[in-house]
Amino acid sequence: MLGLALTFFGGSLQIRQPNAGTVETVNKFLRADNLGMLANNASFFAIMAVGEAFVIITGGIDLSVGAIHCLSAVCGAMFLSYFGPGGAGSGASPTWVVPAAILLCMGVGTVCGLLNGAGVVLLGIHPFVITLGTLAIYRGIAFVMTKAQAYTNFPSQFTDGFIRHQLWWHGHALYPVPLLIMLGVTAAAGWYLKHAVTGRHVFAIGGNEQAALFSGLPVKRVKLKVYAFSGLTAGIAAIIMLGYYGSASSDAGTGYELGVIAAAVVGGASLVGGRGTAWGALLGALIIQMISNGIIILNIDQNYSQIIIGSVIIIAVLWDRINTALRERRLTKSAQAVKQTSMEN
């Protein structure tokens, strides 16, 4: 629906074709370069939103996802800059630089997520408090490490040779790697939630943690896993960001928390726990990015973007509360009908 609205109300744009010497009228929203940019921007948020959805399904929250993304990106950027053009290790250009950078970003993200989970599980502190604190800690570490400077000049085999690998379509450069990584992560996470035993434990803990505990489920272990996975997805998003933009600094990922949580909630993850899907988080990320894209296309003041996204979160939560109340009412009526039938018999 949102895509249709942007298609019809976004208007058109006249573009001069330099080779043909003609002027072509194209839809602002359906332009190949606009759709490609939308998909690439959504990939960062969608991957992190999938990890956030896991945490939310268990009834938790991870406010530090943007800071973890930042710290992972900074560590990867410093490593890649060292082996990039002009770096101290640029002479050798070893073939293991790219896989090592990928493992570094993923490892930093996972460790940060594990620390969040340890704070929640071992210290018994509310996840809002723990992740709010680690948000400041992780970003502060990134600031100290970089001394507020940006790191660039990465090896070309990581940027143009990997993340920014181009495919040409109707004269437009498309970057399929971020999209493929996003779909791969979402598909793997979706399968895990639906078919893996531990995936079903995630829903059970979010639905009723005490009941799950009394049933013998490894509640603490599952919580550690979901927070670690949330950190891992932030690290994967950092890999894409580094390769796509070719730089990183201590302000990377600033404000991403709002967009990531909004994507998970809009995609159907219930903040009370027990409900949510990986594909829903992906869809939510696309909706959030389409809203941001629509603000530009419709020439709306950019200062309203945070207001609009915040309103979308509130509407999504209210809708979830209404659906939950209606579902409980139907279950109550069904139970009463069964009880009445049994009494009559």
Burial class (CB in 10 A: 0-12, 13-18, 19+), 335: exposed
Strands (E) across the chain are located at 12-17, 22-27, 167-169, 172-174
Q: In the chain, what's the furthest Cα-to-Cα distance?
A: 87
Residue 174 pLDDT: 74
Q: pLDDT higher for 152 or 87?
A: 152
Residue 23: band (very low, low, confident or very high) from pLDDT cuts 50, 70, 90:
low
Q: What is the chain's percent helix, strand, coil content, to nearest 5? A: 70, 5, 25
* CATH of region 35-329: 1.10.3470
Domain ranges of the chain: 1-30, 35-329
Residues ≥6 apart with Cβ < 8 Å to 145: 74, 75, 78, 250
In this model, does residue 58 exceed pLDDT 70?
yes
Residue 90 pLDDT: 56
Residue 73 pLDDT: 94
What letters, b where the CB count within 10 A reaches 16 and e where it falls short, cover 156-190?
Answer: eebbeebbbeeeeeeeeebbebbbebbeebbeebb
Hey, is 17 helix, strand or coil? Answer: strand
Highest mean pLDDT among 66-75, 162-171, 335-344: 66-75
Q: What is the mean pLDDT of the chain?
A: 84
Residue 92 pLDDT: 55
* Segment 314-323 mean pLDDT: 81
Strands (E) across 28-104 are located at none
Here the tokens at position 296 are 């530009």
In this model, does residue 69 exceed pLDDT 90?
yes
Residue 240: band (very low, low, confident or very high) from pLDDT cuts 50, 70, 90:
very high
In this model, does residue 19 exceed pLDDT 60?
no
Q: What is the pLDDT of residues 37-54, one digit of tens each?
A: 778 888 888 999 999 999
Consecutive H or E run containing 117: helix 97-121
Cross-strand partners of 169: 172
Residue 14: band (very low, low, confident or very high) from pLDDT cuts 50, 70, 90:
low
Range with lowest mean pLDDT among 45-59, 90-104, 111-125, 145-159 = 90-104
Residue 173 pLDDT: 67
Percentage with pLDDT > 70 across the chain: 83
Residue 306 pLDDT: 77
Consecutive H or E run containing 70: helix 65-83
Percentage with pLDDT > 90 across the chain: 40
Range with lowest mean pLDDT among 26-30, 61-65, 272-276, 332-336 = 26-30
